[in-house]
Amino acid sequence: MSDCIFCKIVEGKIPATKVFEDEDILAFNDINPVRPVHVLVIPKKHITSLATAGADDTVVLGKILAKANEIAVAQGSPDGFRVIINTGRVGQQEVEHLHAHIVGGPDPVGPML
Ligand code: 5GP
Ligand code: ZN
């Protein structure tokens, strides 16, 4: 998707502080963190949202969740974290490339992003 900011981050056309990467997923710090640890984990393939993800996306979606604890611990949230996937208009999704927020830090995280 040529006009997608997260695809541009995947392609290296927009800078980001990457914290994990493999062939399928990329994790980078949120540009506007709401807590000391705030990482976005995305599929490298453009998937608009959970509303449009299909059966072919099962593996990459599982990878995002399976890596969350490792990323949180490495970034300084060893005692837990929240995973938030805003979806669509009602979910107040702003960037239309599926992303999981991993939010944490030394202190407990509030109930909302
Ligand atoms: P959403 O509301 O779509 O779930 O969250 C989008 C998130 O992407 C926001 O937390 C916002 O700060 C973050 N974001 C938007 N543009 C950029 C960017 O260019 N770089 C990075 N690192 N984060 C971004
Ligand atoms: Zn994209």
Domains identified in the chain and CATH numbers: 5-104 (3.30.428.10)
Question: What's the mean per-residue pLDDT of the chain?
Answer: 95
- The answer to whether the beta carbons of residues 103 and 72 sit under 8 Å apart is no
Annotation marks residue 101 as catalytic: no
Q: Tell me the three state secondary structure of residue 65.
A: helix
pLDDT in tens, 63-113: 999 999 999 999 999 999 999 999 999 999 999 999 999 999 988 877 655
Task: Report pLDDT for 64.
Answer: 98
The alpha carbon of 107 and the centre of ligand 2 are apart by a number of angstroms equal to 32
> Count of CB atoms within 10 A of residue 8's CB?
16
The confidence score (pLDDT) of residue 112 equals 59
Distance 82 CA to ligand 2 centre (A): 23
The residue with tokens 């981050």 is 9
Please report the pLDDT score of residue 106 as a whole number: 87
Of 10, 32, 48, 83, the residue with max ligand 1 atoms within 8 A of its CB, to mutate for a pocket test, comes to 32
Give me the pLDDT at residue 108, please: 81
Q: What interface predicted TM-score (ipTM) does this complex get?
A: 0.99
